[in-house]
Amino acid sequence: MKVKGKLKCSICGKTYDKPLQRCGCGEPVEFELFEGEPYIGKSVWERFWDFWPLEPALDFSLGEGDTPLVKSRLGDEFGIKLYLKNETVNPTWSFKDRGTFLAMSYALKAGYKTVGTVSTGNMAASVSAYATRFGLKAKILVSESAGDEKLKAVSVYGGEVIRVHGDYGRLYFESLKLGERLGVYFMNSDNPLRIEGYKSIAFEIAEEISPDYILIPTSSGGLFRGVAKGFIELYKSGLIEGLPKLIAVQAEGCSPICMAFREGREKVERFENPRTIAKAIANPYPPSGNALLKLLREFGWGCVSVSDDEIRKAQERLAREGLFVQPASATGIAALEKLNLPEGAKVVSVLTGSGLKVLGDVPKRDIKECSLERLTECF
Ligand SMILES: *Cc1c(COP(=O)(O)O)cnc(C)c1O
């Protein structure tokens, strides 16, 4: 199965002709930059047709992407123009579907019968759903801490869920080895086709506004790298006049990338004893950590971490505006308090996933009880 463009290591720069997941040096590979022009089309896949390494399998799309960019009232408070990229409306309620769709298109065309991923939450559900849609089998490897309740949203699609007891960080690399041996295509957090799919977020934003800042909740670094590559390709193609400033946002309780960045290191170190309510961004040893640090240095971008209390407050603020996101997805708004952005700046916060998936953390509010007969008095 041929793909367009070579793969290049994000750190050492070595190039490869054949599709692979990681460079011999251990770092992630990515497709070289694509250039092109936009077309008129219904989906983002069609409008940015020149920018994908392979033809997206549109017949199997579940309608991922093309999400609303919502103007937020909260901008007034910070003296900025704030927009919310609402990824909670994707088919499995997170942006992961964009990457899964493109990676699944590849798996199908390359003749794989089984796909896999390593995840506990949103990516597991996304891969399980799209595998069914594409007529492929799914093997979902989850950590031992993944609770039964959460896994219902994964197994409902029919994917096989395997709870793996052992070091979760190592599972990422073991799964790639296993996949190669058994002919199973693993589409983990920073898989190169996943990164390509995440570019669509940048394309859609650029169709509507010219942002100055993008706030990106960050765990493995896959989403950040995708959004970055999207804007860089638009710039290289002459379709935008400058690059926005990208800010990676992490939870204080698990912030290996921000920590390395602050200390001026080129490599991330494993974050010991991660603890945060933002479970979806709690990867203690991010596989794209070093690649992300390189991007932050090269472009003068930033990394900000926020506390659980700040995350809770931001989640509630978004809910009061009508948008219910999970804790990980509220971190961008929490970061606004710390960033002191210039007056009038156009800022996009990516709302990565739905709050309905993490109901356990949501505080219960008082509910009035009332008999039908006394309804008028209760009002
Ligand atoms: C996966 C995920 C992220 C972070 O994405 P990475 O690519 O791992 O950095 C952020 N928010 C939510 C809700 C996610 O599911």
Same domain, yes or no, for 201 and 270?
yes
User: Ligand 1, atom 11: nearest CA belongs to which residue?
Assistant: 352
Q: Residue 35 falls within a domain, yes or no?
A: no
Same domain, yes or no, for 144 and 172?
yes
Same domain, yes or no, for 83 and 223?
yes
Same domain, yes or no, for 115 and 202?
no
- Indicate which atom in ligand 1 lies nearest the CA of residue 220: 8
Q: Residue 231 falls within a domain, yes or no?
A: yes
Q: Residue 289 falls within a domain, yes or no?
A: yes
Structurally, the chain folds into a number of domains equal to: 2
Model confidence over 236-250: pLDDT tens digits? 999 999 999 999 999
Distance separating alpha carbons of residues 109 and 59, to the nearest angstrom: 13
Q: CATH number of the domain at 347, please.
A: 3.40.50.1100
Strand partners for 1? none
Same domain, yes or no, for 135 and 83?
no
Same domain, yes or no, for 204 and 174?
no
Q: Residue 332 falls within a domain, yes or no?
A: yes
**Domain membership of residue 287 as a residue range:** 69-94+192-358
Same domain, yes or no, for 208 and 181?
no
Dihedral sign (CA 145, 149, 153, 157): positive
Model confidence over 55-94: pLDDT tens digits? 999 999 999 999 999 999 999 999 999 999 999 999 999 9
Quickly state the pLDDT bin for 158 (edges 50, 70, 90).
very high
Identify which of 84, 85, 92, 95 to mutate to test ligand 1's pocket (most ligand atoms within 8 A of the CB): 95
Average pLDDT over residues 337-360: 94
Same domain, yes or no, for 170 and 308?
no
User: Ligand 1, atom 10: nearest CA belongs to which residue?
Assistant: 217
Same domain, yes or no, for 315 and 174?
no
Tell me which residues have their CB closer than 6 angstroms to ligand 1: 94, 96, 122, 189, 217-224, 280-281, 326, 328-329, 352-353
Same domain, yes or no, for 222 and 320?
yes
pTM of the complete model? 0.97
Model confidence over 94-122: pLDDT tens digits? 999 999 999 999 999 999 999 999 997 89
Of 153, 186, 219, which residue is a domain's last?
A: 186
